[in-house]
Amino acid sequence: MTPLQGVWAASVTPLAPDATRLKSHIDWLLENGCHGVVLFGTTGEGPSFTVAEKRRVMDELADAGAPMDRLMIGTGCAAVPDTIELTRHAARVGAAGALVMPPFYFKHVVDDGVFSAMAAIFDGLGGDSIPVVLYHFPRMAGVGFTPALVERLKSAFPELVQGIKDSSGDHENLTTLCKQVDDISVFVGSEALLPYALNEGGAGCISATMNVTSRLVRALYDGDNGSGERVIRARKALDALPFVSTMKHLLADHHGDASWQAVRPPLLPLTARQKQQLSQILDTIGTLPNFETLDLPENA
């Protein structure tokens, strides 16, 4: 298995950010079935942290002995130079890859504009080569990577462009990426689509809810099709609430550490009403997989 396959948790970020607690969470996720962990993506509140904070956390994780070869770092910023700086730093600390969203402030940007930005990023890396996973989340970013653009970028930068995370939720787009673009790892952004993605030739998934469901998703990836219904049910139920705040609340409750609930503005912690709604959801779907005692495959 190459590093850019399998089920990866899109990790939340404990504040301030706190590298010590983050490393503990990374270790816990890897022990609970994840092939790897993505930091500073959407779930990790990546755009809410400064370049300096992200660099510091990467350094502290590396110094603490975190398995950097199983970590992917979200490095996409609105400013191309910031993306270059973070991506180069991710390469220098030995990260498995960089998850790169295109510059996301200006909307309705044509493919040529996105290609120009990505070419500037890739050319700016110099000798700091790192596998890049393009991050396609048009609903959040307002700009994305069309299949034709992915194919163009892969052709122009074959050693760098190694994957794409498709968070569009569009089955047709996912199929086109899997069938049209050669030699690229296609990750889906929801484990509810994992069976479909794998059937189409996809590499796996990178998902927010895997902070609490990774054991079950790993079982599904490993061929336990009976897990599929429970995966979909849990994902759809949890999607009813703000996902970052929900993941943090669940982890705070599990670890007995209320500080996990903290989010950076403009996000807010769950309200009392939302917490009540979450409690009702949990009554419906049962204990979340990562909080159960389950046997994992020996090669987990």
**Rounded Cα gap, residues 148 and 150, in angstroms:** 5
pLDDT of residue 92: 98
Residue 23 lies in a domain: yes
User: CATH number for the domain including 169?
Assistant: 3.20.20.70
Question: Residues near 279 by Cβ (< 8 Å), separated by ≥ 6?
Answer: none
Whether the per-residue pLDDT at 119 is higher than 80: the answer is yes
Give the orientation angle of helix 272-285 with respect to helix 243-255, to 10 degrees.
70
Residue 251 lies in a domain: no
Domain boundaries, position 188: 6-226
Residue 195 lies in a domain: yes
Q: Cβ-count burial of 232 within 10 angstroms (0-12 exposed, 13-18 middle, 19+ buried)?
A: middle
Residue 50 lies in a domain: yes
- Tens of pLDDT, residue by residue over 278-291, are 999 999 887 776 77
Q: Report the domain count for the chain.
A: 1
Backbone angles phi, psi at 63, to 5 degrees: -65, -30
What is the biggest distance separating any 2 CA atoms in the chain, rounded to whole angstroms?
52
pLDDT of residue 3: 64
* Alpha-helical regions (H) of the chain: 19-31, 51-63, 80-92, 111-124, 138-141, 147-156, 171-180, 194-199, 210-221, 228-238, 243-255, 272-285
pLDDT of residue 286: 79
pLDDT category at 228 given cuts 50, 70, 90 is confident
Alpha carbons within 13 A on the beta-carbon side of 176: 14
User: In terms of DSSP bridges, do strands 36-39 and 71-74 run parallel, antiparallel, or are they unpaired?
Assistant: parallel
**Rounded Cα gap, residues 280 and 291, in angstroms:** 17
DSSP-derived secondary structure letter, 290: G
**Rounded Cα gap, residues 213 and 239, in angstroms:** 13
Question: Residues near 170 by Cβ (< 8 Å), separated by ≥ 6?
Answer: none
pLDDT of residue 292: 64
Residue 52 lies in a domain: yes
- Tens of pLDDT, residue by residue over 2-55, are 469 999 999 999 998 889 999 999 999 999 999 999 999 999 999 999 999 999
Mean pLDDT over each residue of the chain, to the nearest integer: 94
Contact 103, 144 (CB under 8 A): no
Question: Mean pLDDT, to the nearest integer, of 251-258?
Answer: 91
**Rounded Cα gap, residues 93 and 245, in angstroms:** 29
Residue 285 lies in a domain: no
Residue 190 lies in a domain: yes
Distances (CA, A) of 277 to 55, 62, 230, 280, 287: 37, 39, 19, 5, 15
Contact 244, 267 (CB under 8 A): yes
DSSP-derived secondary structure letter, 103: P
